Amino acid sequence: MNMTTLQKNRINTLSRVLKNEESVEFKHNGFFYEVFESADSGYIVNICSSDEKDNLVDGGLCTGSARDAISFML
């Protein structure tokens, strides 16, 4: 996947927010993403069909960095 500079900047910005706030939520390609620190290690990534978080579409655990967690399911 070839990312544009704008996409890289957005990922970097969201990564900084995640490091500082311990969680971040954003919309991408019609889905709502929720990324937060796992109690054990790494980050949990949940993808929902709307920001009401009532319909989980996908998700998983990312054991990498905050930037890895943001990029994990994109």
Q: Does 1 score more than 60 pLDDT? A: no
DSSP string of 23-67, one letter each residue: EEEEEETTEEEEEEE-SSSSEEEEEESSTT--SEEEEEEE-S-HH
Q: Which residue has the higher pLDDT, 6 or 42?
A: 42
Q: What domain range is 36 assigned to?
A: 5-71
pLDDT tens-place string over residues 8-40: 899 999 999 999 998 999 998 899 999 999 988
Q: Where residue 67 falls among pLDDT bands split at 50, 70, 90?
A: very high
Report whether 18 contacts 24 (CB < 8 A): yes
pTM of the model: 0.85
Q: Report how many domains make up the chain.
A: 1
CA–CA separation, 5 and 41 (whole Å): 30
pLDDT tens-place string over residues 38-53: 988 899 999 999 888 8
